[in-house]
Amino acid sequence: MILLTHFDSSMLMHHYRPIVQRLFIWLFLTVFISLSYLQAEMRIKDLAMLEGRRDNQLVGYGLVVGLAGDGDSNQALYTVQSVANTLERFGVSVDPGSLISKNVAAVMLTANIPAYAEQGSKIDVTISSIGDADSLSGGTLLQTPLLGADDSVYAVAQGAILLGGFFEGGGDATLQKNHPTVGTIPDGAIVEAEIPTTVIKDGALTYLLKNPDYASAVKLAERVNDFFPDAAQAYSPQGVRIRIPEAYGQNPVPFIASVESIKVEPDIMARVVMNERTGTIVATSAVRLSEIAVSHGNITVNIAKTPVFSQPNALAGGTTLQDEVTNLNVTETQGGFTYLDASPTLQELTTALNALGISPRDMMVILQTINKAGALHAELILE
């Protein structure tokens, strides 16, 4: 059975024209955003920090118990007094002078409470001994309030301590790894009070670049304006102010998420960082050098003393004489000029020097000398 149907194509196009138009608009925006992202390198959320969204530091004083003789001695009077005060809270009155605190250690607690942390959420806590305890291994932190800079309680910590080291032995025979008097309690503090966080001021957001730079700030503003026209303006090498569109006025969260997902190619400064203690050299790709010729050679002096013995014959009746012969050897490694054309990169220079067998420490000396000659066009930082 065959069913033949006739339809008018114009009626079909008229019916589906709005759907087709929306489809083309969606494809155009998808291609535009994809092509824009191809040239990007870093998201704004990785390049800059939203002003107002910051951590706050907390601190507290508490006691760690159950240390099996590794706690503070009775010379730590504050520990003994703290134990007496704690027992007093539970209705036990004792004389601090009669207490032995070897199972207890006085500690300081530090923690960072992130922005938007709500009541009931948990944060990590670091515990550090302030007395003469040998180790916090196996200890349990008693309930301790964590205070902010305004002396208000924002979190309460308690729990078993996790250490990254140990201390064993006694007297002259001891073995220690890392720091047994510092530990952590993952998720050991419960947030009791929220810290107000304000990121919107006068209907605008402000992003602060982690590495302030005029060019990077302008690029960030231009990329935001590509998606939200006339919304962003760079007002300093670190700050970019972004106005929230009216469509997002009642709910700015999607707008903030969209802005932080935009990718920007930051402007990298020409910089060379050298650590003379470890022999580490780190340089950015923007480093350039003028036309240079480099020659480097080493002189090695070896001095060796060889003992010489003069022993008489068996029947001579003399004594054995000892003397030393000094050998002096001077070796100079042959160094030649390494020539590089105008505007070479640091990579080309290091490649040429590596071919000559130059060590990292010698390379540091060469880079410092090139900088003194005015041929290194970068900021040189020595650590």
In a shared domain, residues 117 and 212: no
What per-residue confidence (pLDDT) applies to 152? 94
In a shared domain, residues 185 and 67: yes
For residue 12, is it within any domain? no
Choose the final residue of a domain: 126, 158, 191. 191
Q: 109 lies in which domain range?
A: 56-168+175-191
- Distance, in Å, from the CA atom of 113 to the CA atom of 123, rounded to the nearest integer, reads 7
- Start-to-end CA span in the chain (Å): 88
In a shared domain, residues 353 and 249: no
> Tens-of-pLDDT digits for all 383 residues of the chain?
333 334 344 444 445 454 544 444 344 344 434 434 444 478 999 999 999 888 999 999 999 999 988 888 888 888 889 988 888 888 888 888 788 888 999 999 999 999 889 999 999 999 999 999 988 988 999 999 999 999 999 999 999 999 875 555 555 555 555 678 999 999 999 999 998 888 999 999 999 999 899 999 999 999 999 999 999 999 999 999 999 999 998 899 999 999 999 999 888 888 888 887 777 888 887 788 777 776 666 544 454 546 655 666 655 555 665 555 555 454 545 555 555 555 566 767 777 667 666 777 778 888 888 888 888 888 888 87
- Count of positions (residues) in the chain: 383
In a shared domain, residues 180 and 295: no
For residue 45, is it within any domain? no
- Distance, in Å, from the CA atom of 203 to the CA atom of 243, rounded to the nearest integer, reads 6
For residue 27, is it within any domain? no
In a shared domain, residues 69 and 180: yes
What per-residue confidence (pLDDT) applies to 175? 56
- Distance, in Å, from the CA atom of 217 to the CA atom of 205, rounded to the nearest integer, reads 14
For residue 86, is it within any domain? yes
In a shared domain, residues 229 and 340: no
In a shared domain, residues 294 and 357: yes
What per-residue confidence (pLDDT) applies to 35? 38
In a shared domain, residues 290 and 330: yes
Residue with the two structure tokens 């997002």 = 248
For residue 209, is it within any domain? yes
What per-residue confidence (pLDDT) applies to 293? 72
Number of domains in the chain: 3
What per-residue confidence (pLDDT) applies to 186? 94
Q: What is the CA radius of gyration of the chain?
A: 35
Choose the final residue of a domain: 264, 282, 297. 264
What per-residue confidence (pLDDT) applies to 174? 58
What per-residue confidence (pLDDT) applies to 122? 96
In a shared domain, residues 252 and 279: no
- 191-219 burial code (b ≥16 CB/10 A, e <16): beeebeeebeeeeebbbebeeebeebbbb
For 192, the 3-state DSSP assignment is coil
In a shared domain, residues 182 and 60: yes
- Distance, in Å, from the CA atom of 352 to the CA atom of 108, rounded to the nearest integer, reads 53
Q: By the 8 A CB rule, do 192 and 166 touch?
A: no
Report which residue type is found at 158: Q
What per-residue confidence (pLDDT) applies to 27? 45
- Distance, in Å, from the CA atom of 58 to the CA atom of 154, rounded to the nearest integer, reads 8
For residue 299, is it within any domain? yes
Choose the final residue of a domain: 238, 264, 290. 264
In a shared domain, residues 63 and 132: yes
What per-residue confidence (pLDDT) applies to 170? 57
Token pair for 159: 């729990």
- Distance, in Å, from the CA atom of 74 to the CA atom of 278, rounded to the nearest integer, reads 43
In a shared domain, residues 180 and 208: no
The total of other beta-carbon atoms located within 10 Å of residue 107's CB is 28
